Amino acid sequence: MKTLFKIKSLVLTFLRLFYSLLSGGEKCIICGNLSYLLPLCPECRKLFTIEEVKRCKCCGKELISETELCMECRENPVIKNVDGTFPLFSYRLWNKELLFLWKIQGIRALSYFFAGLVFKALKQLQLEYLVPVPPRPGKIRKNGWDQIDELCKILKYHYGIKVLPLLERISSTQQKKLNRDERLSTIKSAYVFSNKALLNLPQKLCIIDDVCTTGATLETCAQIIKANTSVEKVYAMTLFAVD
Ligand SMILES: [Zn+2]
Ligand SMILES: [Zn+2]
Residue ranges of E strands in 124-193: 129-132, 162-163, 167-169, 191-193
Mean pLDDT of the chain: 84
Report pTM: 0.82
Question: Mind listing the domains of the chain with CATH numbers?
Answer: 1-48 (no CATH), 51-241 (3.40.50)
**83 DSSP assignment:** S
C-beta neighbour count of 10 within 10 angstroms: 10
Distance 214 CA to ligand 2 centre (A): 10
What's the rounded mean pLDDT across residues 85-108?
Answer: 86
Neighbours of ion ligand 1 (CB under 5 A): 28, 30-31, 33, 41, 44
- For residue 72, which ligand has an atom nearest its CA? 2
Main-chain phi, psi angles of 38, to 5 degrees: -85, 155
Distance 39 CA to ligand 1 centre (A): 9
Residues facing 176 on adjacent strands: none
Cβ contact 87:212 at 8 Å:
yes
Burial classification of residue 142, based on how many CB atoms lie within 10 Å of its CB (0-12 exposed, 13-18 middle, 19 or more buried)? exposed
Distance 66 CA to ligand 2 centre (A): 10
- For residue 66, which ligand has an atom nearest its CA? 2
Distance 102 CA to ligand 1 centre (A): 16
Cα 16 vs. chain centroid, distance in angstroms? 25
Task: Give the separation between CA 10 and CA 51, rounded to whole angstroms.
Answer: 31
- For residue 35, which ligand has an atom nearest its CA? 1
Provide the residue type at 214 as one letter: T
Task: Give the separation between CA 22 and CA 149, rounded to whole angstroms.
Answer: 31
> In this model, does residue 94 exceed pLDDT 70?
yes
Distance 26 CA to ligand 1 centre (A): 11
Report pLDDT digits (tens) over 98-148: 888 888 888 888 898 899 999 999 999 999 999 999 987 776 656 678 999
Cβ contact 90:50 at 8 Å:
no
Q: What is the pLDDT of residue 144?
A: 76
Distance 110 CA to ligand 1 centre (A): 13
